[in-house]
A and B are shown apart, each in its own frame.
Chain A
Amino acid sequence: MDRLTAVSPGADLLPVRQGALTLEEVLPGEITSIAPFRGQRKAVTQALLAALGVGFPEANCLTRKGELRCVWMGRDLAFLMGARLTADLGGLAAVTDQSDGWIVLKLSGAGAEDVLARLVPADLRAAAFPEGAAIRTQLGHMNVSVARTGGGLQIMGFRSMARTLVQEIADAMASVAARAGAG
């Protein structure tokens, strides 16, 4: 059989650099959605802690251990990223593989919040959006997840909209960098 080469969602789009700002692709490995059944959240957290060392995150937060992250993605929903789900959640949660469905970006450098302030209707300044915060919101008209983790802003969007997502952010980066350059 032919040997197939895996291509990441942003392979031909990234990185983008503008002044002090960098937009790069993050390759999270497997992404698994975990949706606890009614009343099972505590049991899910215990199973995840025992197997992986991270709990199910509270709303608007993520939990992490090393490269492993469990990111809140909505009402009774979180994504496990950076490791295979080894906990047995049978009877506790609905679990699906999301690995190929998302593009994961990291925006870093001075002014990163100013870039997203042009696109996202939520306050992402460090005081309101500290390390470990993770929200669902919009970027333009696209539904995304935004988190602050590892010294940058992580933006997750649908893979089918990867090109639009990168273009929107790159345009805003150019505007912010130009304004910074103009003093």
Chain B
Amino acid sequence: MRLPCPICGTRDRREFYYQGAASMLERPVSGELDAWHAYVHVRDNPAGRTRDLWHHEAGCGAWVIVERDTVTHEVFGAVLVEDADAD
């Protein structure tokens, strides 16, 4: 698998570290326990399109949101977390 790093271009998967679902960027604004429980522990396991966080560890060092399909392995694109998340 190759991933399109917005900075480096298309690179081999070995250069990337997989973090997990991009829902991690959507922090609950309230202190409500259920919201935080879902944020920390509950994940979808989609057969199809998914958005994940990857770290271009052996490349530029940027965090990237990659959209891909878990069934076909098609990679649709990637954006920098920096551009998508104000934090």
Chain A interface (Cβ < 8 Å from any Cβ of B): 59-60, 74-75, 77, 121-122, 135-138, 143
Contacts and interface: CB of A to CB of B under 8 A. Distances in A.
A121 B61 contact: no
Interface stretch (B3-11, B19-27, B40-48): B3-11
A59 B60 contact: yes
A136 B11 CA distance: 11
B59 interface: yes
B62 A75 contact: yes
Nearest to A135: B8
B12 A122 contact: yes
Chain B interface: which size bin?
A: 10 to 19
Nearest to B63: A75
Contact of A137 (B7, B59, B61, B62): B59
A74 B8 CA distance: 9
A76 to B, nearest CB: 9
Contacts of A74: 59-61
A138 B8 contact: no
Contacts of B84: none
Interface string B50-81: 00000001111110000000000000000000
Given A75-B7, A136-B58, A137-B11, 9 more contacts: A59-B7, A77-B61, A122-B12, A135-B59, A136-B61, A137-B58, A138-B14, A138-B58, A143-B58
A122 B60 contact: no
B47 to A, nearest CB: 28
Contacts of A136: 8, 58-61
B7 A138 contact: no
A45 to B, nearest CB: 17
Contacts of A135: 8, 59
A138 B59 CA distance: 8
